[in-house]
A and B are shown apart, each in its own frame.
Chain A
Amino acid sequence: MIQFEGVTRRYGETTALADIDLTLADHELVVLLGPSGSGKSTLLRLVNRLLEPTVGQILVDGRDVRSYRPEALRRTIGYVIQNVGLFPHWRVADNVATVPRLLGWDKKKIARRVEEVLELVGLQAATYADRFPHELSGGEAQRVGVARALASDPPILLMDEAFSAVDPVGRHRIQGEFLEIQRRLKKTVVFVTHDVDEAIRLGDKIALLKAGRLVQFDRTEALLENPADAFVEEFLGRDRTLKRLSRVPAYTLARSIPHPGTGHVLPETTDLRLVLSHFLTEGTDVVALKNELDEISGWLHRRDLESWAKSEGSR
Chain B
Amino acid sequence: MTRSWNRVALAGFGGALALLTLFPGLWPWALYPRANPAELLAEHLSLVGLSSLVALVVGLGVGIAVTRPAGRSFLPLARTLASVGQTFPPAAVLILAVPALGFGVGPAWVALSLYGVLPIFGNTVEALLGVSPDTQEAARGLGFRPSQILWQVELPLARPLILAGVRTSTVVNVGTAAIGAAIGAGGLGAPILSGLVTQNNGFLAEGAILAGLLALTLDAGFGLLGAASDSIRRVSPPVGA
Contacts and interface: CB of A to CB of B under 8 A. Distances in A.
A36 to B, nearest CB: 18
Specify which of B142, B144, B156, B240 lies most central, judged by the most chain A CB atoms within 10 Å of its CB.
Answer: B142
A142 to B, nearest CB: 12
Nearest to B233: A89
A90 interface: yes
A81 interface: yes
A110 B200 CA distance: 70
Nearest to A99: B142
A182 to B, nearest CB: 20
A102 B143 contact: yes
A88 to B, nearest CB: 7
A94 B156 CA distance: 14
A102 B144 contact: yes
Contacts of A15: none
Contacts, number: 73
B241 to A, nearest CB: 7
Interface in B138-164: 138-145, 148, 153, 156-157
A82 B136 CA distance: 13
Nearest to B232: A89
Interface string A47-59: 0101000000000
Contact of B143 (A74, A82, A84): A74
A144 B140 CA distance: 17
B145 to A, nearest CB: 5
B132 interface: yes
Interface residues of A, number: 31
A71 interface: yes
Given A81-B137, A102-B142, A90 B237 contact: yes
Contacts of B136: 85
Contact of B145 (A71, A98, A158): A71
A172 B132 CA distance: 27
Contact of A75 (B137, B142, B234): B142
Interface in A210-248: none
18 contacts: A50-B137, A50-B140, A71-B144, A71-B145, A74-B141, A74-B143, A79-B138, A81-B134, A81-B141, A83-B132, A83-B134, A84-B134, A87-B153, A89-B234, A99-B143, A101-B237, A101-B239, A102-B148
Interface of A: 48, 50, 71-75, 79, 81-91, 94, 98-99, 101-102, 104, 107, 132, 145, 148-149, 158
